[in-house]
Structure 1
Amino acid sequence: MSGLSAIGPETDAVWVCAALGGGDREAVRRTGGALEVGDTGGQRVRMLDIPAEVYAAAYNGVANSVLWFVHHMLYQTPLEPVFGAEFRAQWAAYEAYNAAFADALADGAALGAAVLVQDYHLALVPGMLRERRPDLRIAHFSHTPWAPAEYFAMLPDDIQRQLALGILGADRANFLTHRWAENFLACAETGLGGQCERVRPEDGPPGIVALVPERKAHTTWIGVHGLGADADFLRERAHRPDVEERMTALRAQIGGPDRKTVVRVDRTELSKNIVRGLLAYRQLLADHPEWRKRVVHIAFAYPSRQDLAVYREYTAEVEQVAGAVNAEFGTADWQPVVLHVKDDFARSLAAYRLADVALVNPIRDGMNLVAKEIPVVSDTGCALVLSREAGAHEELGAHALTVNPYDVMGTAEALHEALSMDDAERAARTERLAAAATALPPAQWFLDQLRELGG
Structure 2
Amino acid sequence: MASPHRANVLVASNRGPVSYSLDEDGGLEAKRGGGGLVSGLSAIGADADSLWVCAALGDGDREAVRRGVGETGVRMLDIDASVHAAAYNGIANSVLWFVHHMLYQTPLEPVFDAEFRQQWEDFRTYNRAFADALAAEAADGASVLVQDYHLALVPGMLRELRPDLRIGHFSHTPWAPVDYFRLLPDDIGEELLRGILGADRAAFLTRRWADAFTGCCAEVLGGTGSTAIGVHGLGADADFLRARSHEKDVDGRMAELREQIGGSGDRRTIVRVDRTELSKNIVRGLLAYRELLDTRPEWRGRVVHIALAYPSRQDLTVYRDYMAEVRRVADEINSRYGSADWTPVVMHLKDDFARSLAAYRLADVALVNPIRDGMNLVAKEVPVVSDLGCALVLSREAGAYEELGRDAVTVNPYDVSGTAAALHEALTMPDAERAERTERLAAAATALPPQQWFIDQLHALAGATD
Shared fold, TM over 0.5? yes
1:352 alignment partner in structure 2: 360
1:314 alignment partner in structure 2: 322
1:131 aligned residue (140, 143, 160): 160
CA RMSD of aligned residues (A): 0.9
Q: Distance in 1 between matches of 2:461 and 2:434?
A: 40
Give a deviation string over 1:356-379, Cα, whole Å, max 9, x none: 000000000000000000000100
Q: Distance in 2 between matches of 1:305 and 1:138?
A: 30
- 1:36 and 2:73 aligned: no
**Correspondence list, 1:38-77, <5 A:** 43-77=72-106
Q: Distance in 2 between matches of 1:245 and 1:46?
A: 38
2:5 alignment partner in structure 1: none
The residue type equivalent to 2:82 in the other structure is E
2:175 alignment partner in structure 1: 146
Give a deviation string over 1:177-236, Cα, whole Å, max 9, x none: 0000000001112222x2x3xxxxxxxxxxx30xxxxxxxxx111110000000000000
Q: Distance in 1 between matches of 2:54 and 2:70?
A: 14
Deviation at 1:11, TM superposition (A): 2.8
2:7 alignment partner in structure 1: none
**Correspondence list, 1:103-142, <5 A:** 103-142=132-171
Q: Distance in 2 between matches of 1:11 and 1:274?
A: 42
Extract structure 1 runs of 4+ deviating beyond 4 A. none
2:308 alignment partner in structure 1: 300
Secondary structure, counterpart of 2:141 in structure 1: coil
Q: Structure 1: give runs of 5+ residues left out of the alignment.
A: 38-42, 197-207, 210-218
2:60 aligned residue (23, 26, 35): 23
Q: Distance in 1 between matches of 2:70 and 2:182?
A: 44
2:242 aligned residue (226, 235, 241): 235
Give a deviation string over 1:71-124, Cα, whole Å, max 9, x none: 000000000000000000000000010001000101110000000000000000
Secondary structure, counterpart of 1:235 in structure 2: helix
Q: Distance in 1 between matches of 2:377 and 2:76?
A: 28
Deviation at 1:36, TM superposition (A): 3.3
Secondary structure, counterpart of 1:296 in structure 2: strand
Q: Distance in 2 between matches of 1:291 and 1:164?
A: 50
**Correspondence list, 1:184-263, <5 A:** 184-192=213-221, 194=222, 196=223, 208-209=224-225, 219-256=226-263, 257-263=265-271
Give a deviation string over 1:292-321, Cα, whole Å, max 9, x none: 100000000000000000000100100000
2:22 alignment partner in structure 1: none
Secondary structure, counterpart of 2:462 in structure 1: coil
2:275 aligned residue (267, 272, 288): 267
The residue type equivalent to 2:67 in the other structure is R
The residue type equivalent to 2:419 in the other structure is T
Secondary structure, counterpart of 2:355 in structure 1: helix
Give a deviation string over 1:228-261, Cα, whole Å, max 9, x none: 0000000000000000000001001111310000
TM-score (norm 2): 0.90
1:176 alignment partner in structure 2: 205
Mean Cα displacement is larger for which, 10-19 or 431-440?
10-19
TM-score (norm 1): 0.92
1:81 aligned residue (100, 106, 110): 110
Deviation at 1:25, TM superposition (A): 1.7
Secondary structure, counterpart of 2:40 in structure 1: coil
Deviation at 1:6, TM superposition (A): 2.7
**Correspondence list, 1:269-284, <5 A:** 269-284=277-292
1:203 alignment partner in structure 2: none
Checking the alignment, whether the CA contact within 8 Å between 2:142 and 2:166 is kept in structure 1 is yes
Q: Distance in 2 between matches of 1:282 and 1:225?
A: 37
Q: Distance in 2 between matches of 1:428 and 1:36?
A: 47
Q: Distance in 2 between matches of 1:343 and 1:65?
A: 23
2:49 alignment partner in structure 1: 12
Checking the alignment, whether the CA contact within 8 Å between 2:64 and 2:70 is kept in structure 1 is no
Deviation at 1:22, TM superposition (A): 2.1
1:155 aligned residue (178, 184, 199): 184
Secondary structure, counterpart of 2:124 in structure 1: helix
Deviation at 1:18, TM superposition (A): 1.0
Deviation at 1:46, TM superposition (A): 1.1
Q: Distance in 2 between matches of 1:107 and 1:437?
A: 38
Q: Distance in 1 between matches of 2:329 and 2:350?
A: 17
